[in-house]
Structure formats: structure tokens, C-alpha cells
Copies of this chain bind each other. A is one copy, B any other.
Amino acid sequence: MHIVAALGGNALLRRGEALTEAAQHENVRHAATQLAALVAEGHRVTLTHGNGPQVGLLALQAESGPKGSAQALDSLGAESEGWIGYLLEQELANALPPEMEIATLLTRIEVAADDPAFAKPSKPIGPVYDEATAKRLAAERGWSVAPDGKYWRRVVPSPAPKRLLNAGSIAKLTAAGSFVICAGGGGIPVTRVDGKWRGVEAVIDKDSTAALLAGQIGADMLILLTDVPAVYLDYGTPAQSALREATPQELLAHGFAAGSMGPKVRAACGFVQATGGRAAIGRLEDAVAIAAGTAGTLVRR
């Protein structure tokens, strides 16, 4: 089976963990082991991943560096694809059979210049702050900030992905048997202005991009890997229950918050509705069982 697997930000950096090289290496090594197990089951895997904490750190570093040299957010997104892609490729090279080629492709993604998301920044990036610090930084740096759980974070526009511009290369290498890492951080958002491609300062939701990727390269299944075992109804209440299986219609009828399962649920349902393929949401450690349909929440027609 050809699977597009999407690693959530919490698979690359555990909740509350400081972003250091050592933590990144350890988490990526752990993720690579789980992904290699999927390959060992005979699946072809195309991997995408989030970049929220990493691109936020790069933005902080850029602003702290020499005056006038800070990169725009599209360049920082591209840097994060290089950084995280390299860490993943390296540990996958240690975990996969040595004869398997691994390719990490930068991925530009077309978004609409008039996407309403540009007027309403919503995607949290970087570290958490208390409310006062967040508001001070917003005033000092021109950021938008918003609550994220009990803390505050910088938020940036998150336009909808319309088309991966590098899907042909991804499909060719996947068909040739390579393990492809691509569209990291939701991809690098670009748009057409007067007939030319221009970067835009935004971060695309990586689950939306994963669904689009899976559709464009004809994957059989989309698996969104995170740190919770399944989609829950009444999550965090005494009545909470894991959903084992649902149709897109059933799942969407429940409604899920934007900051929690919402984007994953919408991405999974979107892929199933658009292609007739299967999608699932679950824990990284359950990847093999999720692919087999025995763990996680399965979404199918």
C-alpha cells in the first residue's frame, strides 16, 4: 500500500520540551524507527511533517541576528524544510534497509493571493509566552499573537494549499522505490503575481498539505501521526470515548476545535471524500497497526 504519513509537530518536539539539537535528534530517531517499521511491512511511504516550533525558532534567530538581514517567512519555511528534512533523512538512513534510497525534496505550494487567511493570522508558530510578554512582543515586532491553550503564541496567516508544484518529482521518485520526504511544514507558500511566482509570508497547515499531497500523488492511504491514540468524542471529560471508525460525514458532524483535532479531522475527511482512499489519525507508535486498521481512528467512505 502507498501511504502518505504526516508527522505532527508533537512527534518532532514533545509538548513542553525545549527545542535543542539533542531533543530533535532523539525524537527524529524515534520517529524514523516507527516509519521504518511501516516500510518493513511492505508499504511504500511518502513522508511529510510539521515545522511549527522550528520555524518559530528560526524567526526568533533571524530577528536576533545582524540588523537588516532577517529572512522573510517563506525563506524561513524553506530553511525549516532543509533542517528537519535533513534530520529525518539521516535517521531514516540509519533505520531503513541500506539499499533504499531516500530523497528530501523542497516543495513549493501554490496558494491564492486573495485567500481570506491573509487578513486573519491564525497559525501558531514558535515558543509559548505569557499573555503580557506576547502582547509586548506583538507591539515591538508587529506580530499577531493569540492564545494557544493556557499560553500565548505568535500567529501567522495560514492560507489553503491549492497545488503542490513539485508533485511530479515526488511521484517519480516514489514510483522508483525511493522513500521521499517532502512538503515539510506544509510546504513553501507561493503565489502568482503578474505572471511570476512570488513567495508569501505564511505557514500552510501541514495536515491540509498532507491531504493534498496524498491526492496529487495517488496514495492509497493518508495517516496523520500525532501523540494521541485516536480521535475522541467528549475529549477531556469523564465521558470521553475513542472513535474507531467513521465516514467523513459522521466525523465532520461532530465538530472539532481548530486548535486540537480540527485540522486533522478536516484533512482526513477531505482526502477520503476527494479520492475514495482511506485516512487515519493516531499515535506515531501505532503506525503499523493504524495502517492495518487495528489502531487509531479510521476514516473511510
Contact = CB atoms under 8 A, between A and B. Distances in A.
A176 interface: yes
A173 B176 CA distance: 10
Contact of A60 (B66, B176, B188): B66
A294 interface: no
Given A168-B101, A197-B93, A78 B82 contact: yes
A90 B66 contact: no
Interface stretch (A39-47, A67-75, A152-160, A239-247): A67-75
Interface in A188-202: 188, 190, 196-199
Contacts of A78: 82-83, 85-87
A57 B66 CA distance: 8
Contact of A172 (B70, B79, B85, B172): B172
Interface of A: 18-21, 57-58, 60-62, 64-66, 68-72, 74-75, 78-83, 85-87, 89-90, 93-94, 101-106, 108, 127, 165-166, 168-169, 172-173, 176, 178, 188, 190, 196-199
Given A82-B80, A82-B83, A169-B173, A90 B65 contact: no
Copies held by the complex: 2
B69 A65 contact: no
B106 A85 contact: yes
Contact of A188 (B20, B74, B86, B127): B86
A199 B21 CA distance: 12
